[in-house]
Chains A and B, each alone.
Chain A
Amino acid sequence: DAGITQSPRHKVTETGTPVTLRCHQTENHRYMYWYRQDPGHGLRLIHYSYGVKDTDKGEVSDGYSVSRSKTEDFLLTLESATSSQTSVYFCAISESAGNYGYTFGSGTRLTVV
């Protein structure tokens, strides 16, 4: 009954290649977020979206871009992957402004070799 799914769950890619991670929701929530999780850093916001075609940068946005052409899909692209982007990436959704009880996906483990 997952209302949010991430794909792929695991990926290994080579340095310099482009990578796109997908977040898909069936909840019709307005807000979507991409976080990365690294030991010692917790969860850090990469980019977020507050509606179709409306996106903004988070605290660690360098090297990443996003797109949201439909309410249900939020794509995260690494234009040219680097080893420092090896991480676990989480997508989250929230229903409305002021609702901070995010629902998270199960994550994508990305390894850049």
Chain B
Amino acid sequence: GQQLNQSPQSMFIQEGEDVSMNCTSSSIFNTWLWYKQDPGEGPVLLIALYKAGELTSNGRLTAQFGITRKDSFLNISASIPSDVGIYFCAGHFTGGGNKLTFGTGTQLKVEL
């Protein structure tokens, strides 16, 4: 099946720092999404991307749909303690029905 490789696996940063993470695939995707999971909860959608090259922001979060359609990036500016959690990328490819493929997640920890 499709696989999404997400990196880094975990990050430990200082409050106020910017954060970057990415997701790569061996196959072309036509939709990329980014989710955040708080401890003890289910993932929540942050950003959805639908076109190659698209750059979309949601507050301090900015995500990009890679031009090759095989990758996506998420940046968080000026991190705060509530940014702690697991960030998942997810993708949909043509012929995948209404199913998403999820990445392995990036665990973000913020030091005050």
Return B51 CB to nearest CB of chain A, in Å: 14
**A107 and B90 contacting across the interface, CB-CB below 8 Å:** no
Cβ contact within 8 Å between A92 and B42: yes
* Residue A74 at the chain B interface, CB threshold 8 Å: no
Contact between B42 and A104, CB atoms less than 8 A apart: yes
State A42–B105 Cα separation when bound (angstroms). Answer: 6
Of A13-21, A43-51, A63-71, A78-86, the one touching chain B: A43-51
A62 at the interface (CB under 8 A from B): no
Bound-state CA distance A108–B44 (Å) is 16
A33-B90 Cα distance, complex, nearest whole Å: 14
On whether the beta carbons of A42 and B104 are closer than 8 Å, the reply is yes
In the complex, B95 has a CB within 8 A of chain A: no
Q: Count chain B residues whose beta carbon lies closer than 8 angstroms to a beta carbon of A.
A: 23
Residues of the B chain whose Cβ atoms lie less than 8 Å from the Cβ of A25: none
Residues 51-100 of B contacting A (Cβ, < 8 Å): 88, 90, 92, 97-100
Q: Among the listed A42, A48, A94, which residue makes an inter-chain contact with B6, where contact means beta carbons less than 8 Å apart?
A: A42
Total number of residue pairs linking A and B with CB closer than 8 Å: 57
Bound complex: CA A50 to CA B96 (Å): 13
In the assembled complex, the Cα of A35 lies from the Cα of B37 at a distance in Å of: 14
Most buried by B among A59, A97, A101: A101
Residues of A within 8 A of B104 (CB): 40-42
Are B99's CB and A48's CB within 8 A?
yes
Q: How far is the CA of A42 from the CA of B100 in the complex (A)?
A: 12
A45 near B42 with CB under 8 A, answer no
Q: Is the CB of B48 within 8 A of A101?
A: yes
Q: Which residues on the B side are within 8 Å of A105 (C-beta)? A: 42
The 10 nearest A-B residue pairs measured at CB:
A104-B42, A43-B102, A42-B104, A42-B102, A101-B45, A59-B1, A97-B98, A42-B105, A104-B43, A100-B92
Nearest-Cβ distance from residue B78 to partner chain A, whole angstroms: 26
Closest chain A residue to B50, Cβ basis: A100
B98 neighbours in A (Cβ, 8 Å):
31, 48, 50, 94, 97-100
